[in-house]
Amino acid sequence: MTNQVQNQMQQPAPALGSAELRQLFALDPDYVAANHGSFGATPRAVMEARLEKMYDIEANPDYFMKITYDAKLDEALLPVAKLLGLETVADVVFTVNATTGVNAVLRSLKQVLKASGRPSPSSKQKILCFSSVYGNVLNGINYTTTNDEFGILNVDIPIPISEADLLDRVNAVIESERAQGSDVVLAIYDMISSVPGVIVPVERLTALFRSRGVLTCIDAAHAIGQVPIDLNLIQADFFVSNLHKWLYVPRGCAVFYVAPRFQGVIHHPVISEIRGKDWRRGFHWVGTTDVSAYLCTTAALKFRAWIGGEAAIMDYTHRLAVGGGQIVADILGTRVLKGVGPGEETDGDAFYAAMVNVLVPDTDVVKQGGDVFMGALQAKMLKEDKVGIAPYKFGGVYWIRLSAQVYLNEDDFVVAGNTLKRVLGV
């Protein structure tokens, strides 16, 4: 880290949402970066820290690879483990992204089921997911069911929905499958779904699946850095979360948790080095992978602490998502999508974190262009307007997902809303 950056971080941090804070990121000053959720953004200080790590490695590659490699990765992983409520790194590893972690579970599923006392795979053994499942994760599930004989159970979940209704639907599906002689062996579900960007009640869902003997894999790609996490409370069998989306670690970097009883049978989708019972080595040594992003966790967390800390960042981004989302909805004359609520309540702002979903108006432009127009909307606005948004279709209608972040304020949502108004022909 340069002396300039070190000196800067010894001073009080700029206010969240200020122009001065935005300058701490390498973003194009003309770009309205309201799609942080897709790929994240790395602060300059963390980028500099990564460059330092790369130079450290290149000073003596043999020494790093052969002598300090494992210790350096564990040192970088420990503060992340503690963010998840863990005291050590024994149950977690780095991997490049959440999709890789989910695929590790899928590619190891035969061995995982054997370790849990299940019979050999058959089409009667099913992998459960929700209709909001991330597309690339669904691709992995489909590949597994096609090649490894498992069946798939894609449960339609309308949003908004109450927690009680969600749990009842899931329980009814499990009951129905078992009445027909099938066995739901694994559930893969989000902690915060990608589209729609809403919070999923993972503690209660995981408890339900556990009570029915269903193994659990939580795709928490959007979770760490956006909401608090305690794996001791959730008690999932597998859990994976990207660090490069909301925690400001460079791409690509994720943390993958595996319950102790499955650590002897889980393996990385790419088989590289195998060192006895050291399951973690199989994830950390995947050929000569560039692990410099992994080594930047301390720099990212130090930056986050400097600008206010986890609670302040989460509070600011949530409040901005609430206010900014409503600004865009008002400009477009539509509404914000609410998420899953406690009990029978489905209307409230507590059910999304830093990503907000705004209904696309049914204008002539949208009706005439349909899926083709909406599919090209993101690229069009990036190229022509320098505005980042994430359009998608859910429940038969179009939505825009917008991400709040510390380098944005409500003025950015006004720009995004007015640009959408013009492009959509409102």
The CA dihedral of 258, 260, 262, 264, to the nearest 10 degrees, is: 110
Cβ burial of 252 (10 Å; 0-12, 13-18, 19+) is buried
Query: How many angstroms separate the CA atoms of 354 and 249, rounded?
Result: 17
Query: How many angstroms separate the CA atoms of 5 and 272, rounded?
Result: 38
What interhelical angle do 69-83 and 297-306 show, nearest 10?
Answer: 40
Tokens of 364: 């002539």
- Helical (H) or strand (E) element with 391: strand 390-394
Q: Which amino acid is at 52?
A: E
C-alpha atoms less than 13 angstroms from C-alpha of 261 in its C-beta half-sphere: 10
- Helical (H) or strand (E) element with 388: strand 387-388
Query: How many angstroms separate the CA atoms of 99 and 133, rounded?
Result: 12
Tokens 């893969």 belong to residue: 188
Angle at 219 between CA 214 and CA 220, to 5 degrees: 125
Tokens of 309: 């800390």
Sequence-distant (≥ 6) Cβ neighbours of residue 304 within 8 angstroms = 225, 247, 248, 310, 313
Query: How many angstroms separate the CA atoms of 218 and 189, rounded?
Result: 5
Tokens of 87: 């005291």
What interhelical angle do 202-211 and 163-179 show, nearest 10?
Answer: 20
Determine how many CB atoms are found less than 10 A away from the CB of residue 316. 21
**What percent of the chain is helix, strand and coil (3-state, nearest 5)?**
45, 15, 40
Spatial contact of 128 and 184, defined as CB atoms under 8 Å apart: yes
Sequence-distant (≥ 6) Cβ neighbours of residue 34 within 8 angstroms = 324, 387, 388, 389, 402, 403, 408, 412, 413, 416
Spatial contact of 26 and 407, defined as CB atoms under 8 Å apart: no
Cβ burial of 311 (10 Å; 0-12, 13-18, 19+) is exposed
Q: What is the pLDDT along the chain (426 residues), one digit of tens a residue?
A: 566 776 788 899 999 999 999 999 999 999 999 999 999 999 999 999 999 999 999 999 999 999 999 999 999 999 999 999 999 999 999 999 999 999 999 999 999 999 888 877 777 899 999 999 999 999 999 999 999 889 999 999 988 888 889 999 999 999 999 999 999 999 999 999 999 999 999 999 999 999 999 999 999 999 999 999 999 999 999 999 999 999 999 999 999 999 999 999 999 999 887 766 789 999 999 988 899 999 999 999 999 999 999 999 999 999 999 999 999 999 999 999 976 555 555 556 778 899 999 999 999 999 999 999 999 999 999 999 999 999 999 989 999 999 999 999 999 999 999 999 999 999
Query: How many angstroms separate the CA atoms of 394 and 179, rounded?
Result: 31
Spatial contact of 73 and 293, defined as CB atoms under 8 Å apart: no
Tokens 């690339």 belong to residue: 136
- Helical (H) or strand (E) element with 256: strand 254-258
Spatial contact of 153 and 127, defined as CB atoms under 8 Å apart: yes
